[in-house]
Amino acid sequence: MTPELQRMDWMPSPPLAPIDSPLDLDHLSRMTLGNADLEQEVLAMFAEQAVRLMAAMAALPAEAGALAHKLKGSARGIGAFAVADAAESLETAIRAGQNQRHALAALKEAVTEARAAIEAILKP
């Protein structure tokens, strides 16, 4: 290994194989440096943001692609990779002028599953 590569701190990538949960909790832990309070805070923020963005995208306005892109980034940050993939599919459908309603429905389902997992984690 070259000296430059030896000095780098490597961050694990998201899993290549699907996980059984809508959230990759190991990824979330890495992103929050293992801080449980921060994990709960970002999960709550994501759940609220997802509701707002989904409501804003409901009628597929002109800015739906940008809203989907924002949701995709947030989802990747917390380990909600199914949401991120569905948001990316919506972005692609919008750019290609393809079946946007189907992509939006798939995104809504992924967000619903992620929010249910978040609610279960945040329950006192």
Q: Please give the structure tokens belonging to residue 101.
A: 């309603």
The Cα 20–Cα 101 span in angstroms is 26
pTM for the model stands at 0.83
Closest CA to 84 of 3, 10, 28: 28
Q: Which of 15-24, 55-64, 66-75, 103-112 has the lowest mean pLDDT?
A: 15-24
Cβ pair 122, 43 in contact under 8 A: yes
> Average pLDDT of 15-36?
85
Q: CB burial class (10 A; 0-12, 13-18, 19+) of residue 21?
A: middle
pLDDT at 100 exceeding the cut of 80:
yes
Cβ pair 91, 41 in contact under 8 A: no
> Average pLDDT of 32-59?
97
Q: Please give the structure tokens belonging to residue 103.
A: 């992509």
Per-residue model confidence as pLDDT tens digits over 55-89 = 999 999 999 999 999 999 999 999 999 999 999 99
Q: Please give the structure tokens belonging to residue 63.
A: 């800015």
